[in-house]
Structure 1
């Protein structure tokens, strides 16, 4: 009897490449410059964190205070947009750039605090579809007002419906519940930073919710990988070939990375 050919392995899934805070490996995070670089590098989606200022504007900032990126100890929630606009949030990334004759010339507006509205306007003006993954940060003094303002802003763009290029992410289950009450058709992503949180979360998150675990938890906890089978999974922060391969083997639908050009090069050969 002749030997039968071995069954071929299933084709690896090609996940969406999501730029984590923009092309943040090379350019200061959450700046317009970082997002324009990510778009130029072919990112298929952009990830950002949002916080609410004292005068009610959503800005793209990760930390509670501006100490790390601008040297100011002030909390974002206590500052008005005009105060934030005076800060340089890019120089920390390349502090010696002014001494480098070959460094590209800085565009001042590309290194300022970015409003979410400006980011969405940038995306809306593109000639190709680029999605936006927006993480609301909690806890915050403004509580549910963050999600309320976010949905209002998305509604201004007509992006509060099922075909929206935007999705809302949070580690806070309550925040995502609020989002769904305000915009039932929007996709939401339940972020997971500890594998041992999932047994509790799996009892309450909707079957149509996306799950967003960190890559370290997937690497170190095979049980979590098994429990996520059959769900749509988006993973953060994927910066190496080995981690990307793990995500592909799992069938992960989106990888959030500081290095969108590098990850695209791995995926596209």
Structure 2
């Protein structure tokens, strides 16, 4: 891992490497060009929206389904069926998910048929970002659901019994017992999901390719296009270094939390 990282960092300070026989050292010029590029700034905004909305939705939906599967309101057989259904999105690869939802959201697809409409979900500048975010939410919530379900099953029943004896309502038990017990798991998974989602590439590339007109352009697709569409490998390396720095910040907080937890 060290060798390619060092190479990419070195490329970011050079004139267009690979495409030029004798690239020259240009210092921070590549960083200035990237940071002042309007498309890069758009990609940052899209990535922030995509990541934050996805992580929040993953947490909320995953916790809701985990509590449903952990409750005694429904029978054991029904819980087993729901577990299979809810876990299905996590079993598919990004390629399968992208193809599946491209077919469902096609103007002639099932979604438009059910809604009796002809909306261009993945081609509309107003809807494309929301559509790919929804797809990512659908694909990622099972990870939270499984982890939180394991956490819920590890909470001692005595805590709930004591809270009930003290007259706590279901909402008060949730706030005072469930959430504090799940807090370490929630923080760990949220930080991991922030790292993973901010680097999502395959799902975006295979659904919208960053379009239309950059409305779904992410940092990952922006970097890919710089390298393999425009052949600006030094600028692509610079973008990759900036993404690496962002990932290192998130990883720092994750490791710090894990050490504090241990």
Q: Give the TM-score taking structure 1 as reference length.
A: 0.27
The structure carrying a bigger helix percent of its residues is 2
- With a CA cutoff of 8 Å and minimum separation of 6, indicate the structure with the bigger relative contact order: 2
Q: Give the TM-score taking structure 2 as reference length.
A: 0.28
The structure carrying a bigger strand percent of its residues is 1
